[in-house]
Structure formats: C-alpha cells, structure tokens
Amino acid sequence: EIVLAQSPATLSVSPGGRATLSCRVSQSISISYNLAWYQQKPGQAPRLLIYGASTRASGIPARFSGSGSGREFTLTISSLQSEDFAVYYCQQYNNWPLTFGGGTKVEI
C-alpha cells in the first residue's frame, strides 16, 4: 500500500500567518495528481478541502491552496484565521487501498 508521510507533525503559526504543510509518498511510486486534503477539528468529521492535488472543494475559501504532483504535495493556508487551527490529513487515491497520511496539527 502507498504510505503517505506528512510533515511537520505539529506546526505553530500566528493568526494571519502562513502555513505550509507537506505530504510525501514514502515509496518510489508516483501518484500523479491523485491526492486530496482534509481538515478535521476536534470532535468533528473531516472536511474535504482539496482534490486532484490543487482543486478546491465546494465552499472552500481561496486562502487554501494545494500544489504538487508525483510524490510531493503541499497544502498552503495563507493568512490563517482562528477557524483554521485544526488537524490536516492528505489522502491518496491513485492505488487501492486508499490511504491517509498521519496528519499535521496546525496550532497557535
């Protein structure tokens, strides 16, 4: 199965600041653009942010952007709002089984 490594595990950012989250495929396998990003707040289900590596899901603010292809991907949150402090997961859908990264916690 494809293993996704997310870094850093925890990211401390000030409100209004910029957050850059990384998701890497651990093996020498390209997953093309077949990657999604989710946001999860405590006690809530994950919310789809990005699919196709860079396409924002419906209703997602423009401050969320995704980039990358192949084995390396980035989620950038520009100008962090208070509601953006959460855990972020990447998920690949290039190969079965579907797999998620271990998550990055974005905290103040």
Partner 1 sequence: QLELQESGPGLVKPSETLSLTCTVSGGSVRTTSYYWGWIRQPPGKGLEWIGNIYYTGGTYYNPSLESRVTISVDTSKNQFSLKLTSLTASDTAVYYCARLVSTVTSFDYWGQGALVTVAS
- Position among 22, 57, 63, 74 found at the interface with partner 1 (CB under 8 A): 57
Residue 35 bridge partners (DSSP) = 92
CA distance 72 to 93: 14
Residues 86-105 contacting partner 1, CB under 8 A: 89, 91, 93, 96-103
**In the numeric block, which tokens belong to residue 70?**
């192949």
Name the 3-class secondary structure at 21.
strand
Residue 34 near residue 2, CB atoms below 8 Å:
no
Quick check: 45 binds partner 1 (CB under 8 A)?
yes
Nearer to partner 1, 63 or 105 (CB): 105
- Position among 20, 22, 47, 70 found at the interface with partner 1 (CB under 8 A): 47
| Nearest partner of 20 among 64, 55, 51, judged by Cα | 64
Nearer to partner 1, 16 or 59 (CB): 59
Q: Which residues bind partner 1 (CB under 8 A)?
A: 1, 34, 36, 38, 44-48, 51-52, 57-58, 89, 91, 93, 96-103
